[in-house]
Amino acid sequence: MIQILVDLLSLFLMVVLVSSSGALSPGPLTVATVRYSLSYGKKTGLLVSLGHTFFELPLVLAISIGIASFIDNVVVKFSIGLAGSIALIFFGLIEVYSILRLRGSSKNPIEVQESNLEGGIYSFLKRGGVVQVIFIGFIFTSLNPYFIIWWMSIGLTLIIKFLAYASLIGVLLMYIFHVWLDYAWLGFISYITHTSKKFLKNRHIELLSLMLSIVIIVLGFYLMVSTFMEFRIF
């Protein structure tokens, strides 16, 4: 019994150390968490992580079962990279447009900007902040090729290790050891952001939101250029 606990502890520490290279690295998901924490509060990170999990867990199971070759296909990887960059730019531009329309308003820009855009799927999502934030976590994860590359390289070592340890049950155990980092990290980020908002005036919130939205756009263009360069389109 003691040996089993020692083995599990060593496996847990290995997963945490390996996972930290992906979970704690800055990226679109972290920027989006900060941005939407200004609107939806300190639970935003947990909701973003939930959306992240909705995509990540099926991906891990799919790789374990054997679709790794499909995901590693050049056309698939290029399509994911291009779609992901467009999605980031789209979300960033929508936020910039919304914030600029509110400049000079006496109201808190975060509280009223949700009513500025009407029509389409974005309007539907705006009716429920919870749905939108979960969607943000899902879409920013699913359209991030670097996330998939991480699971196809670094993360694959964990999958193979735990497959040998206890088949798919082992993979599920590995995922539990891994995923709590996402919730802890993004939850911490959103809590700090929301708490800091209390000390900011309207113009400070407006400026911070604008800067974060621009960062998302820049990340989108960077991802697009990187995708084209990787597949030698330029």
Decide: pTM greater than 0.95.
no
HSE value, Cβ hemisphere, 13 Å, CA-based, for 126: 18
Give the mean pLDDT of the chain.
Answer: 75
User: What pLDDT is attached to residue 58?
Assistant: 93
Q: What share of the chain is helix, strand, coil (3-state, %, to 5)?
A: 85, 0, 15
The tokens for 137 are 């976590």
On whether residue 16 sits in a domain, the answer given is no
145-172 pLDDT, tens digit each: 778 878 877 787 788 888 877 788 888 9
Let me know if residue 207 belongs to a domain.
Answer: yes
**Count of helices and strands (H, E) across the chain:** 11, 0
Q: Which band of pLDDT confidence, cut at 50, 70 and 90, is reported for residue 72?
A: low
% of the chain residues with pLDDT over 90: 13
Predicted local confidence at residue 172, as pLDDT: 92
Tell me how many domains the chain contains: 1
CB 35 within 8 A of CB 43: no
The phi and psi torsions of 24 (rounded to 5 degrees) equal -95, 0
Q: Taking Cα atoms as reference points, which of 83, 84, 110 lies closest to residue 210?
A: 110
Tokens of 99: 């914030």
Quick one: how far is CA 115 from the chain centroid? 25
Q: Is 11 a member of any domain?
A: no
Residue with structure tokens 């590693």? Answer: 72
pLDDT of residue 26: 61
Q: Which domain holds residue 58?
A: 28-230
| Residue 6, domain member (yes or no) | no
pLDDT in tens, 177-187: 999 999 998 99
C-alpha distances (whole Å) from 215 to each of 31, 130, 144, 153, 220 are 8, 23, 16, 27, 9
Over residues 189-212, the mean pLDDT reads 75
CB atoms within 10 A of CB 201: 9
96-109 pLDDT per residue, tens = 777 677 665 545 44
The mean pLDDT value for 63-82 works out to: 72
